[in-house]
Each structure stands twice: as structure tokens, then as C-alpha cells.
Amino acid sequence: MSKLVAPHGGKGLVCALLEGAELEAELAKAKGLKQIEVTDRAKGDLIMMGIGGFSPLDGFMTKADWKGVCETFQMADGTFWPVPITLDVSAADAGEINEGDEVALVNSGEVYATMKVTEKFEMTDADKKWECEKVFLGEGEESVDGKFWEIAPEDHPGVIMVMNQKEFNLAGPVKVLSEGEYKADYPGVYLKPAETRAMFDERGWSNVAALQLRNPMHRSHEFLAKIAIEVCDGVLIHSLIGNLKPGDIPAETRVQAIEILIDNYFVKENVINAGYPLDMRYAGPREGLLHATFRQNYGVNNMLIGRDHAGVGDFYGLFEAQEIFDRIPTTGDAGKDLQCKPMKIDWTFYCHKCDGMASLRTCNHGKDDRVILSGTKLRKALSDGAEIVDHFGRDEVLDHLKVYYGSLKEKVEVKMQGAASGDAM
């Protein structure tokens, strides 16, 4: 009997992925359905619904769910969910679709799912702005004093994504027909929730932490993972292998860097390197909650939340993603409430006077004694060909990343923010 935390939603793992004869029959049927081209973000959402990563979701959200999630962090039935999972279509496509119709959802020529449309609802620019303010507006300097709408339309990738959505949303259950390229491109790393749960059970783990990554692991990431290993049975290093914003390091390079670090600096029995197929939404605190929600489905009951988790620019307060966990609603129903809890870690860095990794809670030395560590700062230095300061990362990992940056013909400007530079310390 597994001792792991139950999947979110109280229904076990809800998996919409078809296999075998069912899959073949649905693929054949899809050829005769209206084809709807979906975004890469929706493709990732579909795969997560297929493999159970988004349990208890079995399809895209209704208007009532969308409104509840934005406003109160709860779907219409009271189940906790922090970020809308919606499917946008053009007004022209929406005009040809009636409630009750089935459609095929296609990305780059591949059919990813069929969907039974139970509802369609318009998304005006005012609706999109309202969603952005609920989901992306933070407490950082680029969000306050009326700055959000001056800066976000050009600089916040999540806001840009929502404001560029088409005029209508479709809601309804899906049957997922493909996991895309992930199984082939990331063998042994792309793992379904049922697979990570089986691995945890096999190792006898019941108290598991997850480390969210969209950057290669630097010394702070390594420190966070090792803190969790000390107090938990093991750690899932869980990297985003979907799409990122321009200038971020591709998943293949990041996964290889993590493997190098694990091989050289971890006890392998206490850590698992895995990836999940979503695109980043850059929703800061809300995305931290989303990370905890779907990690619960993977069997994780502790989510590591450090400084500026899932942030972008200076839209969010340094520890806003920790604080939001204290404000989410509860119903008293364990199935509907979030069970994966945050492991809140203070700002970490290398301190020369301490002669090791430390945090604001453990180190009493000054800013000049500290090596400020951040993924943005690392990418900025590597992109500019600047010298990497001592103790920023492990040499083996930095050598690997330098090879990648040396292969680039065009480089994207990496914008520094206060949290990454250390100015806010």
C-alpha cells in the first residue's frame, strides 16, 4: 500500500490518454472532425491531462471554472486550482462549432486530442485584462503604482500570451491521442505521475520534495535540493521541458547539466531527475501554486519555494510565492484542498566568510561577502561571455554550458532584474 500523498482532486489519477485499439479508433474518427490548431501551451496542457499530471482535470475549463480560478483559486465545485487551463479559438472557428460537437485539436500537423465541446464563451479584451490582473499582477516594483499595464504588455511573457489569445474559449472533456516528442527526446527523464509514484514506492519514499527548475542548477539550487534530502526521503528534480521565453537555455542542455551535477555531487539513491511537458506561464506566485498542485499528482508532498519562484522581471515580491500559500482557501475536504505543502527557503548564496553556502537566516555577514546566485545572472554572464565568479556553479556544469553558448550564432539579450542582480538584498 502506497504511503504517498493522494493525487489532487480526490479522484485518483485522472488520465485522458488513450492507448491500443481505443487510440486507433479515435485517431480514425479525428480525421473526419473539424480541425482546430492549438498553441504550444495548449499542447502541453493536453499532455498533462493525458498522463494525469493535471488531475482532476479531464478537459478545458468552463467559464464558471475560469472565473472561480481567477477570483478565488477554486473551480466551480470548490476544488482548488490556481491558474486557468483554457482553450482559445478564433471567432470564425467558434461560429462553426456548436455545443455538443466534437473537434480535433492539432498542433503542427499532429492530432493531439479530440474534444467534446460542452460550452463556448467569448473572451473580450476586458476579460483578458481581468484575467491578467488576477493571475499575473504581483507586488514587485513593476506591478505597483500603475506600472503594470505600462510594462507588462511588452515585457511580461504571460501577459503577452493571454492578451494575444483568440476571441473565444472552448470548454469540455478531451481524449488525448499523443504525448508528442517527449518520450523519444527525453527517455528516462520524461516521466508520468504513475511512473514517479512507482519509483518513490520502490525506494520506500513517503515524504518527497520537488525542486522546480527552468534553469541549469547552480549552487543555490544544489543547496535547496540537499536541504530537502536531509529532511525528506528523497527529492524529485523536476525540470520544465516545454517551451520557455527567448534567451532561456533549452531543455536538452539543462537536463544534461543536471545529470552532470547528480553524477558528481549527489547520492543518486536520494534524487530523481525528471521532466514535465508544460510551457512556462511566468505567473510567479500563482505558478508556484500550480507547481505544487501538479507535483501532488506526481506523488510529491513538499514543494521547494525559494526566492522569486517562477518570476519574471520585477513583477513579483521576492518571497510572494511563499506568502501566497498562506492565503489560499480551504474547504476541509482533503480531496479538494491542496495537500502539497511549501518548503519555504530564504535567499541563499555562497558566503566567503562563512566559507560555504548560507542564507539570510543563517549568515550575518555583509553583501560584499556573498556571491549572489540566480539563473538569470548565470545566463547573462554566459551570454555576454563574462567571467563566472568562483562558487557560482560547479566547474563541470559551467564547462557544459559554455559549450552550448559557444555554439550559438545569435544571442538574445538577457534582462537583469533586482532579484537576480542582488540589488534587492
| Helix (H), strand (E), coil (C) string for 24-59 | HHHHHHHCCCEEEECCHHHHHHHHHHHHCCCCCCCE
Residues 169 and 270 placed together within one structural domain of the fold = no
**Would residue 131 count as lying in a domain?**
no
**Alpha-carbon span 221 to 361, nearest angstrom:** 17
Place 392 in a pLDDT band, splitting at 50, 70 and 90: confident
Does 207 participate in catalysis according to the annotation? Answer: no
Residues 409 and 308 placed together within one structural domain of the fold = yes
Task: Look at the pTM and tell me if it is higher than 0.85.
Answer: yes
Radius of gyration of the chain (CA): 21
**Would residue 36 count as lying in a domain?**
yes
Residues 174 and 218 placed together within one structural domain of the fold = no
**Would residue 384 count as lying in a domain?**
yes
Residues 115 and 195 placed together within one structural domain of the fold = no
Residues 205 and 111 placed together within one structural domain of the fold = no
Length of the chain (residues): 425
With beta carbons less than 8 A apart as the criterion, state whether 18 and 82 touch: no
Residues 282 and 396 placed together within one structural domain of the fold = yes
Q: Looking at residue 71, what is its pLDDT?
A: 98
Place 346 in a pLDDT band, splitting at 50, 70 and 90: very high
Does 214 participate in catalysis according to the annotation? Answer: yes
Residues 170 and 298 placed together within one structural domain of the fold = no
Kindly give the pairing relationship between strand 119-122 and strand 87-89.
unpaired
**Would residue 47 count as lying in a domain?**
yes
Q: Is the peptide bond before 56 cis (omega within 30 degrees of 0)?
A: yes
Residue 79 has pLDDT above 90, yes or no: yes
Least confident of 90-99, 116-125, 183-192, 376-385: 376-385
Q: Looking at residue 242, what is its pLDDT?
A: 87
**Would residue 408 count as lying in a domain?**
yes
**Would residue 7 count as lying in a domain?**
no
CATH number at residue 333: 3.40.50.620
Q: Looking at residue 362, what is its pLDDT?
A: 95
Query: What is the rounded average pLDDT for all residues in the chain?
Result: 93
Cell of 89: 479559438
**Stronger pLDDT, 300 or 383, i.e. the higher one:** 300
Residues 172 and 248 placed together within one structural domain of the fold = no
226-273 tens-digit pLDDT? 999 999 999 999 999 987 767 778 889 989 999 999 999 999 999 999
End residue of a domain, out of 132, 147, 178: 178
Alpha-helical (H) ranges within 146-274 are 148-155, 157-163, 182-185, 193-203, 219-231, 251-265
With beta carbons less than 8 A apart as the criterion, state whether 254 and 227 touch: no
Residue 180 has pLDDT above 90, yes or no: yes
Active-site residue, selected from the candidate residues 169, 215, 273, 302:
215
**Alpha-carbon span 371 to 377, nearest angstrom:** 11
Could you give the angle at which helices 148-155 and 125-135 cross, rounded to 10 degrees? 100
Could you give the angle at which helices 63-72 and 125-135 cross, rounded to 10 degrees? 40
∠ CA(415), CA(158), CA(169), 5° rounding?
165
Q: Looking at residue 160, what is its pLDDT?
A: 97
**Would residue 140 count as lying in a domain?**
no
Q: What is the DSSP letter of 326?
A: G
Residues 343 and 202 placed together within one structural domain of the fold = yes
Q: What percentage of the chain exceeds 70 in pLDDT?
A: 96
Active-site residue, selected from the candidate residues 214, 295, 307, 370:
214
Residue 418 has pLDDT above 80, yes or no: no
Q: Looking at residue 364, what is its pLDDT?
A: 96
Residue 295 has pLDDT above 60, yes or no: yes
**Alpha-carbon span 172 to 206, nearest angstrom:** 34
Place 417 in a pLDDT band, splitting at 50, 70 and 90: low
CB contact burial 37-65 (16+ within 10 A = b; e otherwise): ebbebbbbbbbbbbbbbbbbbbbbbbbeb
Q: Looking at residue 422, what is its pLDDT?
A: 54
Residues 47 and 84 placed together within one structural domain of the fold = yes
Residues 302 and 407 placed together within one structural domain of the fold = yes
- Our count of domains for the chain comes to 2
CATH number at residue 58: 3.10.400.10
Q: Which of 226, 235, 230, 238 is nearest to 208 (CA)?
A: 235
Residue 414 has pLDDT above 60, yes or no: no
Residues 171 and 222 placed together within one structural domain of the fold = no
SS3 132: helix
Q: Which domain holds residue 200?
A: 189-421
Place 30 in a pLDDT band, splitting at 50, 70 and 90: very high
3-26 tens-digit pLDDT? 999 999 999 999 999 999 999 999
**Would residue 151 count as lying in a domain?**
no
**Stronger pLDDT, 418 or 305, i.e. the higher one:** 305
